[in-house]
Amino acid sequence: MKTVKTNFASQIIILCVALLIALPVRVYQYLHVIDPTTGFYISWLQPTVFGLYGLCLLVIVLLIALSFKGRKKTLYAMPSGKKPGLGAASLVFSLSLFAESAVSVYRAFAISSGSLPVQQLVIGDNVGKATLIFTVLQVVFGLLSAVFMMLFAISFFTGNPLYKKAILLSAAPALWGVSRMMIGFSQTISYRYVSELIFDLLMIVFFTMFSVAFAKMCAGVLEHRIQMRLFAYGALASFFAMLCAVPRYVVFLMGRQDVLYRQTNLYEFADLIIPVFVMVAVFSIVATKQYKSVEEYGAESEEQGEAESEAEA
């Protein structure tokens, strides 16, 4: 248990140090290195380009290595009972998903009517239609994710695990991530000079993998590799979500929104909340009871189920 908690603390330190370096660099890139009309780097040979990519690669390697270190020594399950902190983080995440879905509805209508600026659209009617389809799917799965997160929040505010009665909805956040990922892949991109989309895609990829592990833990699947994926991919999703969202808002508050590519990203509110929800969820799991084996967890779960059945009777 100490190994896992120590590794989790080390992950937090790495995240904080990496963000202290990466966020100012990203703000500088918005102001001086990125072409706002394309989202690409003006020059591939800028020192900040290699430096930021190198830092991201180092963070990925370190966080994954720490998450899988000592993975066979402990087992954790989803917390139970009243957890106001987890409930509050889930509630805010739910509200952000509702808000982002509302913006996506506007975006879907704007794409279909052709009223969005040209640089926000992909080139070609066929690709434009594909983007519209994925945007609609993002809205649907975003709303389902918001509903599940609302149930999740109520569960930890009241101590009554309502989310277990709608466990199929736990897959919605992962499908929401896949929909957003496909929107990114459907846009024209230069893999040599790309800047704006690559970090978005990395954030969504890691959040989607975190969501898959999260859904399995909500369903009561207890495996070492699942919880370690939860820790690793959750930390990476948090890092890239902060790297994507925070610099954009900083530049916007500086009054330099003219340097931003795809200004509608300012309304992807969930990107700011993902790190909060992920870190609170992982901390709540690490702080809960540990199990030495799946059998021990299964026996306790059966006892809890019998106690709940007796209480309802």
Residues 285, 230: contact at Cβ < 8 Å?
Answer: yes
- What is the distance between the alpha carbons of residues 89 and 85, in angstroms, rounded to a whole number? 6
Residues 119, 63: contact at Cβ < 8 Å?
Answer: no
- What is the distance between the alpha carbons of residues 273 and 256, in angstroms, rounded to a whole number? 23
Helix H or strand E encompassing 75: strand 75-76
pTM of the predicted model over 0.85? no
Residues 233, 282: contact at Cβ < 8 Å?
Answer: no
Tell whether the torsion through CA atoms of 19, 59, 10 and 220 is positive or negative: positive
pLDDT score recorded for residue 4: 55
Alpha helices (runs of H) in 159-293, residue ranges in sequence order: 172-185, 196-218, 224-253, 270-287
pLDDT score recorded for residue 8: 73
Q: Which two tokens stand for residue 5?
A: 């908690």
Q: Which two tokens stand for residue 156?
A: 């930890």
- What is the distance between the alpha carbons of residues 71 and 47, in angstroms, rounded to a whole number? 37
Q: Which domain holds residue 258?
A: 2-312
**Residue that has been written with the tokens 């739910």 in this structure:** 94
10 Å CB burial of residue 74 (0-12, 13-18, 19+) is middle
SS3 73: coil
Q: Which two tokens stand for residue 269?
A: 């509110």
Altogether, the residues listed in the chain come to a count of: 313
Q: Which two tokens stand for residue 49?
A: 């380009």
Residues 258, 107: contact at Cβ < 8 Å?
Answer: no
Number of compact structural domains in the chain: 1
φ/ψ of residue 161, rounded to 5: -70, 70
Residues 312, 30: contact at Cβ < 8 Å?
Answer: no
- What is the distance between the alpha carbons of residues 242 and 56, in angstroms, rounded to a whole number? 12
CA 249, distance to chain mean position in Å, is 18
Per-residue pLDDT of the chain (313 residues; tens, 9 = 90+): 455 566 778 888 999 999 999 999 999 988 888 877 777 788 777 888 889 999 999 999 998 888 777 555 566 777 878 899 999 999 999 999 998 888 777 766 765 666 554 344 333 334 456 667 787 888 899 999 999 999 999 999 998 888 888 889 999 999 999 988 887 776 655 555 566 778 888 999 999 999 999 998 888 776 667 778 888 899 999 999 999 889 888 888 888 877 776 544 567 778 889 999 999 998 888 777 665 555 555 555 545 554 445 444 4
For the range 168-173, what are the long-range contacts, defined as Cβ-Cβ under 8 Å and sequence gap of 24 or more?
169/144, 169/145, 170/214, 170/215, 170/218, 170/219, 171/215, 172/141, 172/144, 172/145, 172/147, 172/148, 173/141, 173/145, 173/148, 173/149, 173/207, 173/211, 173/214, 173/215
Residues 130, 108: contact at Cβ < 8 Å?
Answer: no
pLDDT score recorded for residue 263: 47
pLDDT score recorded for residue 150: 95
